[in-house]
Amino acid sequence: MKKITQLILLSTMLLLCSVVLATDGRITLKGYIIDLGSMGTLMKDTPVGPGIVRPADPIEVAKAITKEHLLGEGAKKTGYAIVYGSQSEGSIVPLDKKGNEMAREVILASSKNSGIRVEVTGQRNKKGLKVKSIKEIE
């Protein structure tokens, strides 16, 4: 009985290890491409009346960033990030060097003039996201 219990425990541990190894720490995010130079704009509140401000909605701001702006020299220098989530829970994740190159290719190929939405797969690290793949989505 003890050997059966040990065998079951070992099998369970091996299965859990294989699940962890299979995910490889990868995550997939769906959001909008921005340039890191636009992050200040994403954080600004919008005055809507005397003494009244509406917090910026990073998603709406990201949707308004034009393809022309994203392809400009300033954006090329600062690099790109993905904005995902919502106004109250939105996040901005910078892309690594390879991700910046891939994002630029997606921007060039996009038929949209603004609001380029993508699905990015990669691994999170202290600096942002080490990109494995990026593709435009609707």
Tens digits of per-residue pLDDT, 107-135?
999 999 999 999 999 999 999 999 999 99
Instruction: For residue range 78-118, list pLDDT tens digits in order.
Output: 999 999 986 556 688 999 999 999 999 999 999 999 999 99
Residue environment code for 17-37, b if the CB has 16+ CB neighbours within 10 A, otherwise e: eeeeeeeeeeeebebbbbbbb
Q: Does residue 17 sit within a domain?
A: no
Q: Does residue 20 sit within a domain?
A: no
Number of domains within the chain: 1
Q: Does residue 55 sit within a domain?
A: yes
- Model confidence at 38, pLDDT cuts 50, 70, 90, reads confident
Token look-up 């294989």 returns 18
Q: Does residue 132 sit within a domain?
A: yes
pLDDT at 40 over 80: no
Q: Does residue 13 sit within a domain?
A: no
Locate 91 and state its tokens: 């996040």
The CATH number assigned to the domain holding 34 equals: 2.40.50
What's the domain range around 66? 25-136
Q: Which helix (H) or strand (E) holds 78?
A: helix 73-78
pLDDT cut 90: percent of the chain above it: 51
Q: Does residue 1 sit within a domain?
A: no
Q: Give the chain's mean pLDDT.
A: 80
Q: What share of the chain is helix, strand, coil (3-state, %, to 5)?
A: 45, 35, 20
pLDDT at 45 over 80: no
Q: At 121, give phi and psi (nearest 5°).
A: -115, 135
Residues 12-19 have a mean pLDDT of 40
Q: Does residue 114 sit within a domain?
A: yes
pLDDT attached to residue 109: 97
pLDDT attached to residue 39: 72
pLDDT attached to residue 35: 92
More confident residue, 53 or 127: 127
Q: Does residue 15 sit within a domain?
A: no
